[in-house]
Protein backbone atom coordinates (compact mmCIF):
# COMPACT_ATOMS: atom_id res chain seq x y z
CA UNK A 1 0.00 0.00 0.00
CA UNK A 2 1.23 3.49 -0.82
CA UNK A 3 2.81 5.36 2.08
CA UNK A 4 1.77 2.77 4.63
CA UNK A 5 4.93 3.00 6.70
CA UNK A 6 4.96 6.78 6.78
CA UNK A 7 1.22 6.97 7.39
CA UNK A 8 1.36 4.58 10.35
CA UNK A 9 4.25 6.42 11.88
CA UNK A 10 2.78 9.90 11.49
CA UNK A 11 -0.70 8.89 12.54
CA UNK A 12 0.76 7.28 15.61
CA UNK A 13 2.65 10.41 16.55
CA UNK A 14 -0.13 12.82 15.79
CA UNK A 15 -2.95 10.85 17.42
CA UNK A 16 -1.38 11.50 20.79
CA UNK A 17 -1.89 15.23 20.26
CA UNK A 18 -5.27 15.21 18.61
CA UNK A 19 -7.34 15.55 21.75
CA UNK A 20 -5.06 17.93 23.60
CA UNK A 21 -6.83 20.91 25.11
CA UNK A 22 -3.76 23.07 25.26
CA UNK A 23 -0.74 22.97 23.00
CA UNK A 24 2.27 24.97 24.13
CA UNK A 25 5.24 26.00 22.05
CA UNK A 26 7.23 23.22 23.72
CA UNK A 27 4.52 20.74 22.66
CA UNK A 28 4.75 21.88 19.05
CA UNK A 29 8.51 21.54 19.13
CA UNK A 30 8.23 18.04 20.57
CA UNK A 31 5.65 17.06 17.99
CA UNK A 32 7.75 18.44 15.15
CA UNK A 33 10.79 16.56 16.37
CA UNK A 34 8.83 13.35 15.89
CA UNK A 35 7.39 14.43 12.55
CA UNK A 36 10.89 15.31 11.39
CA UNK A 37 12.17 11.83 12.27
CA UNK A 38 9.23 10.17 10.56
CA UNK A 39 9.85 12.14 7.37
CA UNK A 40 13.58 11.41 7.38
CA UNK A 41 12.86 7.73 7.89
CA UNK A 42 10.51 7.91 4.94
CA UNK A 43 13.51 9.07 2.89
CA UNK A 44 12.29 12.61 2.34
CA UNK A 45 15.08 14.96 1.27
CA UNK A 46 16.63 16.49 4.41
CA UNK A 47 16.44 20.09 3.19
CA UNK A 48 12.81 19.60 2.34
CA UNK A 49 12.21 18.21 5.84
CA UNK A 50 13.97 21.15 7.47
CA UNK A 51 11.93 23.73 5.57
CA UNK A 52 8.72 21.82 6.13
CA UNK A 53 9.23 21.62 9.89
CA UNK A 54 10.16 25.31 10.10
CA UNK A 55 7.02 26.30 8.21
CA UNK A 56 4.70 24.17 10.30
CA UNK A 57 6.24 25.49 13.52
CA UNK A 58 5.93 29.08 12.42
CA UNK A 59 2.28 28.67 11.48
CA UNK A 60 1.33 26.43 14.41
CA UNK A 61 2.91 28.56 17.08
CA UNK A 62 1.69 31.90 15.81
CA UNK A 63 -1.81 30.91 14.79
CA UNK A 64 -5.12 32.16 16.06
CA UNK A 65 -7.13 29.63 18.00
CA UNK A 66 -10.17 28.41 16.11
CA UNK A 67 -13.10 27.44 18.25
CA UNK A 68 -14.23 24.55 16.08
CA UNK A 69 -11.00 22.57 16.50
CA UNK A 70 -9.02 21.48 19.51
CA UNK A 71 -5.52 22.97 19.62
CA UNK A 72 -4.09 19.54 18.84
CA UNK A 73 -6.34 19.17 15.79
CA UNK A 74 -5.35 22.60 14.67
CA UNK A 75 -1.66 21.72 14.49
CA UNK A 76 -2.55 18.56 12.59
CA UNK A 77 -4.52 20.69 10.15
CA UNK A 78 -1.42 22.81 9.54
CA UNK A 79 0.63 19.64 8.97
CA UNK A 80 -1.97 18.46 6.45
CA UNK A 81 -1.98 21.78 4.59
CA UNK A 82 1.80 21.95 4.45
CA UNK A 83 2.07 18.33 3.23
CA UNK A 84 -0.40 19.23 0.49
CA UNK A 85 1.64 22.31 -0.43
CA UNK A 86 4.83 20.23 -0.45
CA UNK A 87 3.35 17.94 -3.09
CA UNK A 88 2.32 20.85 -5.30
CA UNK A 89 -0.87 22.14 -3.68
CA UNK A 90 -3.38 21.60 -6.44
CA UNK A 91 -3.67 18.94 -9.11
CA UNK A 92 -1.50 19.55 -12.19
CA UNK A 93 -3.21 18.51 -15.39
CA UNK A 94 -1.63 17.62 -18.70
CA UNK A 95 -1.61 20.13 -21.51
CA UNK A 96 -4.10 20.04 -24.32
CA UNK A 97 -2.63 21.75 -27.38
CA UNK A 98 -4.89 24.33 -29.00
CA UNK A 99 -4.09 22.75 -32.29
CA UNK A 100 -3.93 18.97 -32.27
CA UNK A 101 -1.94 16.87 -31.88
CA UNK A 102 -0.68 17.35 -28.35
CA UNK A 103 2.80 15.87 -28.27
CA UNK A 104 3.96 14.17 -25.07
CA UNK A 105 7.49 12.85 -24.68
CA UNK A 106 7.91 10.09 -22.13
CA UNK A 107 11.42 9.94 -20.69
CA UNK A 108 13.14 8.03 -17.92
CA UNK A 109 15.61 5.35 -16.99
CA UNK A 110 15.16 1.74 -18.06
CA UNK A 111 12.84 -0.21 -15.81
CA UNK A 112 11.12 2.84 -14.34
CA UNK A 113 7.90 1.91 -16.09
CA UNK A 114 8.03 4.21 -19.11
CA UNK A 115 6.51 1.88 -21.68
CA UNK A 116 3.84 0.65 -19.27
CA UNK A 117 2.98 4.25 -18.37
CA UNK A 118 2.75 5.20 -22.05
CA UNK A 119 0.09 2.51 -22.40
CA UNK A 120 -1.70 3.62 -19.25
CA UNK A 121 -1.72 7.23 -20.39
CA UNK A 122 -3.11 6.19 -23.78
CA UNK A 123 -5.90 4.35 -22.01
CA UNK A 124 -6.55 7.32 -19.72
CA UNK A 125 -6.85 9.63 -22.74
CA UNK A 126 -9.01 7.16 -24.63
CA UNK A 127 -11.47 7.18 -21.73
CA UNK A 128 -11.77 10.94 -22.20
CA UNK A 129 -12.69 10.36 -25.83
CA UNK A 130 -9.28 11.40 -27.09
CA UNK A 131 -7.48 9.62 -29.87
CA UNK A 132 -3.94 8.82 -28.87
CA UNK A 133 -1.10 7.44 -30.97
CA UNK A 134 1.75 5.60 -29.28
CA UNK A 135 5.15 5.96 -30.88
CA UNK A 136 7.86 3.31 -30.59
CA UNK A 137 10.89 5.56 -30.13
CA UNK A 138 12.95 3.12 -28.08
CA UNK A 139 14.87 1.37 -30.81
CA UNK A 140 17.65 0.01 -28.60
CA UNK A 141 15.93 -2.30 -26.15
CA UNK A 142 15.11 -5.34 -28.31
CA UNK A 143 11.66 -5.99 -26.83
CA UNK A 144 10.50 -2.38 -26.48
CA UNK A 145 8.80 -2.05 -29.87
CA UNK A 146 7.03 -5.38 -29.47
CA UNK A 147 5.99 -4.47 -25.91
CA UNK A 148 4.33 -1.29 -27.19
CA UNK A 149 2.64 -3.14 -30.05
CA UNK A 150 1.21 -5.69 -27.63
CA UNK A 151 -0.13 -2.88 -25.44
CA UNK A 152 -1.55 -1.16 -28.51
CA UNK A 153 -3.46 -4.28 -29.53
CA UNK A 154 -4.70 -4.83 -26.02
CA UNK A 155 -5.92 -1.24 -25.71
CA UNK A 156 -6.96 -0.79 -29.31
CA UNK A 157 -4.62 2.18 -29.65
CA UNK A 158 -2.58 2.62 -32.84
CA UNK A 159 1.20 2.25 -32.57
CA UNK A 160 3.59 4.02 -34.89
CA UNK A 161 6.89 2.27 -35.60
CA UNK A 162 9.55 2.40 -38.29
CA UNK A 163 11.47 -0.51 -36.83
CA UNK A 164 14.85 -0.17 -35.20
CA UNK A 165 16.94 1.07 -38.11
CA UNK A 166 15.56 4.61 -38.35
CA UNK A 167 16.61 7.35 -35.93
CA UNK A 168 14.18 8.15 -33.11
CA UNK A 169 14.09 11.80 -34.22
CA UNK A 170 12.91 10.76 -37.68
CA UNK A 171 10.41 8.33 -36.15
CA UNK A 172 8.97 11.05 -33.92
CA UNK A 173 8.66 13.52 -36.80
CA UNK A 174 6.92 11.03 -39.06
CA UNK A 175 4.66 9.96 -36.21
CA UNK A 176 3.41 13.51 -35.76
CA UNK A 177 2.74 13.82 -39.48
CA UNK A 178 0.89 10.49 -39.33
CA UNK A 179 -1.20 11.72 -36.39
CA UNK A 180 -2.17 14.87 -38.28
CA UNK A 181 -3.20 12.91 -41.35
CA UNK A 182 -5.24 10.50 -39.31
CA UNK A 183 -6.75 13.08 -36.99
CA UNK A 184 -5.23 11.55 -33.89
CA UNK A 185 -5.00 14.16 -31.18
CA UNK A 186 -2.30 12.87 -28.81
CA UNK A 187 1.13 11.64 -29.76
CA UNK A 188 2.81 9.74 -26.93
CA UNK A 189 6.47 9.19 -27.71
CA UNK A 190 8.06 6.32 -25.82
CA UNK A 191 11.78 7.08 -25.77
CA UNK A 192 14.81 4.98 -24.96
CA UNK A 193 15.91 4.54 -21.38
CA UNK A 194 19.34 3.62 -20.11
CA UNK A 195 20.46 2.08 -16.88
CA UNK A 196 22.18 5.35 -16.03
CA UNK A 197 21.90 8.91 -17.22
CA UNK A 198 24.52 9.43 -19.90
CA UNK A 199 25.32 11.97 -22.57
CA UNK A 200 24.21 9.78 -25.43
CA UNK A 201 20.78 9.34 -23.87
CA UNK A 202 20.39 13.03 -23.12
CA UNK A 203 21.69 14.04 -26.55
CA UNK A 204 19.12 11.88 -28.27
CA UNK A 205 16.30 13.12 -26.05
CA UNK A 206 17.29 16.73 -26.72
CA UNK A 207 17.23 15.97 -30.43
CA UNK A 208 13.68 14.61 -30.21
CA UNK A 209 12.62 17.55 -28.05
CA UNK A 210 14.10 20.20 -30.37
CA UNK A 211 12.57 18.62 -33.44
CA UNK A 212 9.10 17.86 -32.11
CA UNK A 213 8.64 20.76 -29.66
CA UNK A 214 6.54 18.65 -27.29
CA UNK A 215 3.80 20.17 -25.16
CA UNK A 216 4.78 17.91 -22.30
CA UNK A 217 7.98 16.18 -21.30
CA UNK A 218 7.00 13.72 -18.61
CA UNK A 219 9.66 11.97 -16.59
CA UNK A 220 8.70 8.49 -15.43
CA UNK A 221 10.44 7.55 -12.19
CA UNK A 222 10.16 4.63 -9.82
CA UNK A 223 8.86 5.90 -6.46
CA UNK A 224 10.35 2.92 -4.67
CA UNK A 225 13.85 4.24 -5.32
CA UNK A 226 13.23 7.19 -2.98
CA UNK A 227 15.90 9.89 -3.15
CA UNK A 228 17.45 8.25 -6.22
CA UNK A 229 14.24 9.07 -8.02
CA UNK A 230 14.56 12.67 -6.90
CA UNK A 231 18.17 12.84 -8.11
CA UNK A 232 17.16 11.38 -11.46
CA UNK A 233 14.41 14.00 -11.70
CA UNK A 234 16.86 16.79 -10.93
CA UNK A 235 19.26 15.65 -13.65
CA UNK A 236 16.59 15.19 -16.31
CA UNK A 237 15.08 18.53 -15.43
CA UNK A 238 18.42 20.32 -15.73
CA UNK A 239 19.02 18.80 -19.13
CA UNK A 240 15.59 18.77 -20.67
CA UNK A 241 13.36 21.14 -18.68
CA UNK A 242 10.59 18.72 -17.75
CA UNK A 243 6.93 19.69 -17.61
CA UNK A 244 6.06 17.09 -15.00
CA UNK A 245 6.74 13.78 -13.34
CA UNK A 246 4.92 10.45 -13.27
CA UNK A 247 5.70 8.45 -10.15
CA UNK A 248 5.34 4.74 -10.78
CA UNK A 249 5.07 1.83 -8.36
CA UNK A 250 3.50 3.97 -5.69
CA UNK A 251 1.48 0.85 -4.86
CA UNK A 252 4.65 -0.72 -3.49
CA UNK A 253 6.13 2.41 -1.92
CA UNK A 254 5.54 2.35 1.81
CA UNK A 255 7.83 5.29 2.52
CA UNK A 256 6.78 8.12 0.23
CA UNK A 257 10.12 9.96 0.15
CA UNK A 258 10.06 10.60 -3.59
CA UNK A 259 6.44 11.73 -3.62
CA UNK A 260 7.11 14.23 -0.87
CA UNK A 261 10.41 15.58 -2.23
CA UNK A 262 10.19 15.71 -6.01
CA UNK A 263 8.15 18.89 -6.36
CA UNK A 264 10.07 20.79 -3.69
CA UNK A 265 13.46 19.81 -5.12
CA UNK A 266 12.79 20.18 -8.86
CA UNK A 267 9.90 22.63 -8.92
CA UNK A 268 8.11 20.27 -11.30
CA UNK A 269 4.73 18.80 -10.37
CA UNK A 270 3.81 15.15 -10.12
CA UNK A 271 1.05 14.75 -12.67
CA UNK A 272 0.23 11.06 -12.37
CA UNK A 273 0.87 8.15 -10.05
CA UNK A 274 1.24 4.53 -11.15
CA UNK A 275 -0.61 2.29 -8.72
CA UNK A 276 -0.05 -1.16 -10.21
CA UNK A 277 0.91 -3.12 -13.29
CA UNK A 278 -2.52 -3.13 -14.93
CA UNK A 279 -3.39 -0.64 -17.64
CA UNK A 280 -6.02 1.12 -15.55
CA UNK A 281 -3.68 1.60 -12.59
CA UNK A 282 -2.83 5.22 -13.33
CA UNK A 283 -4.26 8.03 -11.24
CA UNK A 284 -4.04 11.78 -11.64
CA UNK A 285 -1.97 12.93 -8.68
CA UNK A 286 -4.00 14.88 -6.12
CA UNK A 287 -1.71 16.43 -3.46
CA UNK A 288 -4.58 17.01 -1.03
CA UNK A 289 -5.82 13.43 -1.24
CA UNK A 290 -2.29 12.12 -0.82
CA UNK A 291 -1.78 14.26 2.29
CA UNK A 292 -5.05 13.00 3.74
CA UNK A 293 -4.09 9.44 2.93
CA UNK A 294 -0.86 9.92 4.85
CA UNK A 295 -2.47 11.58 7.85
CA UNK A 296 -5.55 9.36 7.94
P1 LIG B 1 10.59 0.84 -18.96
O2 LIG B 1 11.90 0.14 -19.14
O3 LIG B 1 10.77 2.12 -18.20
O4 LIG B 1 9.82 1.03 -20.21
O5 LIG B 1 9.75 -0.08 -17.96
P6 LIG B 1 8.47 -0.99 -18.21
O7 LIG B 1 7.31 -0.19 -18.63
O8 LIG B 1 8.84 -2.14 -19.04
O9 LIG B 1 8.14 -1.47 -16.70
C10 LIG B 1 9.06 -2.17 -15.89
C11 LIG B 1 8.29 -3.02 -14.89
O12 LIG B 1 7.63 -2.18 -13.93
C13 LIG B 1 7.20 -3.87 -15.50
O14 LIG B 1 7.21 -5.14 -14.91
C15 LIG B 1 5.92 -3.12 -15.15
O16 LIG B 1 4.80 -3.97 -15.06
C17 LIG B 1 6.27 -2.54 -13.81
N18 LIG B 1 5.48 -1.34 -13.47
C19 LIG B 1 5.34 -0.20 -14.17
N20 LIG B 1 4.56 0.68 -13.52
C21 LIG B 1 4.17 0.10 -12.36
C22 LIG B 1 3.36 0.51 -11.24
O23 LIG B 1 2.82 1.63 -11.16
N24 LIG B 1 3.22 -0.40 -10.22
C25 LIG B 1 3.82 -1.63 -10.25
N26 LIG B 1 3.63 -2.43 -9.21
N27 LIG B 1 4.58 -2.03 -11.28
C28 LIG B 1 4.77 -1.20 -12.33
- 174-226 pLDDT, tens digit per residue, is 999 999 999 999 999 999 998 888 899 999 999 999 999 999 999 999 999 99
Distance of CA 57 from the midpoint of ligand 1 (Å): 39
Of the chain, the percentage scoring pLDDT greater than 90 comes to 82
For residue 199, what are the CA distances in angstroms to 34, 105, 206, 272?
42, 18, 10, 27
Ligand-binding annotation for 19, yes or no, is no
Q: Tell me which residues have their CB closer than 6 angstroms to ligand 1.
A: 108, 110-116, 193, 248-249, 251-252, 274-277, 281
Q: What are the tens digits of pLDDT across the range 132-173?
A: 999 999 999 879 999 999 999 999 999 999 999 999 999 999
Q: What are the tens digits of pLDDT across the range 120-129?
A: 999 999 999 9
- Nearest residue to 155 via CA among 128, 132, 135: 132
Instruction: Report, as an integer, the average pLDDT of 100-113.
Output: 97
256 has pLDDT over 70? yes
Ligand-binding annotation for 191, yes or no, is yes
Q: What are the tens digits of pLDDT across the range 47-99?
A: 999 999 999 999 988 766 566 677 788 888 999 999 999 999 999 999 999 99
Ligand-binding annotation for 38, yes or no, is no
Q: Is the pTM of this model over 0.90?
A: yes
Pocket test for ligand 1, best of 107, 110, 112, 113 (most atoms within 8 A of CB): 113
Gap between the Cα atoms of 177 and 184, Å rounded: 10
Gap between the Cα atoms of 207 and 192, Å rounded: 13
Distance of CA 276 from the midpoint of ligand 1 (Å): 8
Atom of ligand 1 nearest to the CA of 275: 23
Q: Transcribe the chain into DSSP letters.
A: -TTHHHHHHHHHHHHHHHT-S---HHHHHHHHHHHHHHHHHTT--HHHHHHHHHHHHHHHHHPPPPTTS-HHHHHHHHHHHHHHHHTTSS--PPP--SSSPEEEEEE--TTSSHHHHHHHHHHHHHHTT--EEEEEE--SSTTHHHHHHHHHHHHT--EE-BTBSS-HHHHHHHHHHHHHHTT--EEEEEE---SS--HHHHHHHHHHHHHH--SEEEEEEEGGGTHHHHHHHHHHHHHH--SEEEEE-GGG-SS-HHHHHHHHHHSPPEEEEE-SSSTT-EEE--HHHHHHHHH-
Gap between the Cα atoms of 118 and 108, Å rounded: 12
Amino acid sequence: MAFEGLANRLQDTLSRWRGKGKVTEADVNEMMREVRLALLEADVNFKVVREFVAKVKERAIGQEVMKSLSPGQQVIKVVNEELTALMGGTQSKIEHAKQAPTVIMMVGLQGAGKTTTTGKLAKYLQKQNRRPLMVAGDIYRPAAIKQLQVLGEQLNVPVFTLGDQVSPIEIAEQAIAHAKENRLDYVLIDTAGRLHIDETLMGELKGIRDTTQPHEILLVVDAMTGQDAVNVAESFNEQLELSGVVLTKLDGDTRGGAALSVKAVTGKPIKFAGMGEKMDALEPFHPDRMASRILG
